[in-house]
Amino acid sequence: MSVTEHKVVVGATPHAEGDRIMQICNACRYCEGFCAVFPSMARRLTFSEADISYLANLCHNCGACYYACQYAPPHEFLVNVPRTFAEVRKETYKNYAWPKPMGALYDRNGLATALVTTLAVCAFLVGVFQMVSPAMLWGAHSGPGSFYKVIPHNTMVGIFGAAMAFVILAFVMGFRQFWADMEEKMGDFASPSTFWEAMWNVLTLKYLDGGGEGCTYPDEKPSFTRRTFHHLTFYGFMLCFAATTVGTFKHYILGWIAPYSLGSLTVVLGTLGGIGLLIGPAGLLWLKHKADPMLKDAKQRGMDDGFLALLFLTSLTGFLLLFVRETSWMGLTLTIHLGVVLGLFLMLPYGKFVHAIYRFAALVRYALERRRPNTNASFE
Amino acid letter at 227? R
Q: Decide whether 222 or 306 has the Cβ nearer to ligand SF4.
A: 222
Q: To 10 degrees, what angle do helices 355-370 and 192-204 make? A: 130
User: 260 and 250 in contact (C-beta within 8 Å)?
Assistant: yes
| Contact flag: residue 362 with ligand SF4 (CB under 6 A) | no
Give the footprint of ligand SF4 on residues 85-114 (CB under 6 A). Answer: 85
**Peptide bond preceding 74: is omega within 30 degrees of 0, i.e. cis?**
yes
Q: How many CA atoms lie within 13 A of 369 on its CB side?
A: 27
User: Considering the complex, what minimum distance in angstroms separates the CB of residue 318 from ligand SF4?
Assistant: 33
Would you give the end-to-end CA distance of the chain in angstroms? Answer: 36
What CA–CA distance (Å, rounded) separates 248 from 9?
A: 54
Q: Decide whether 68 or 157 has the Cβ nearer to ligand SF4.
A: 68
Q: Which stretch binds ligand SF4 (CB under 6 A): 53-61, 307-315, 335-343, 345-353?
A: 53-61
| Contact flag: residue 65 with ligand SF4 (CB under 6 A) | yes
Q: Decide whether 57 or 317 has the Cβ nearer to ligand SF4.
A: 57
Q: Decide whether 31 or 115 has the Cβ nearer to ligand SF4.
A: 31
Query: Which segments of the chain does DSSP mark as H helices, in order?
Result: 14-28, 37-41, 49-58, 64-68, 81-95, 109-131, 134-137, 153-181, 186-189, 192-204, 225-249, 265-290, 301-324, 330-347, 355-370
| Contact flag: residue 71 with ligand SF4 (CB under 6 A) | yes
What CA–CA distance (Å, rounded) separates 311 from 131?
A: 28
User: Considering the complex, what minimum distance in angstroms separates the CB of residue 263 from ligand SF4?
Assistant: 42
| Contact flag: residue 79 with ligand SF4 (CB under 6 A) | yes
Q: Decide whether 85 or 312 has the Cβ nearer to ligand SF4.
A: 85
User: Considering the complex, what minimum distance in angstroms separates the CB of residue 59 from ligand SF4?
Assistant: 3
Contact with ligand SF4 (CB under 6 A) among 59, 167, 321, 344: 59
Residues in contact with ligand SF4, counted by CB under 6 A, come to a total of 24
Radius of gyration, CA atoms only, the chain: 23
| Contact flag: residue 217 with ligand SF4 (CB under 6 A) | no
Q: Decide whether 155 or 374 has the Cβ nearer to ligand SF4.
A: 374
Distance of CA 201 to the CA centre of its chain: 16
Residues near ligand SF4 (CB under 6 A): 24-25, 28-31, 34-35, 37, 59-65, 68-71, 79, 81-82, 85
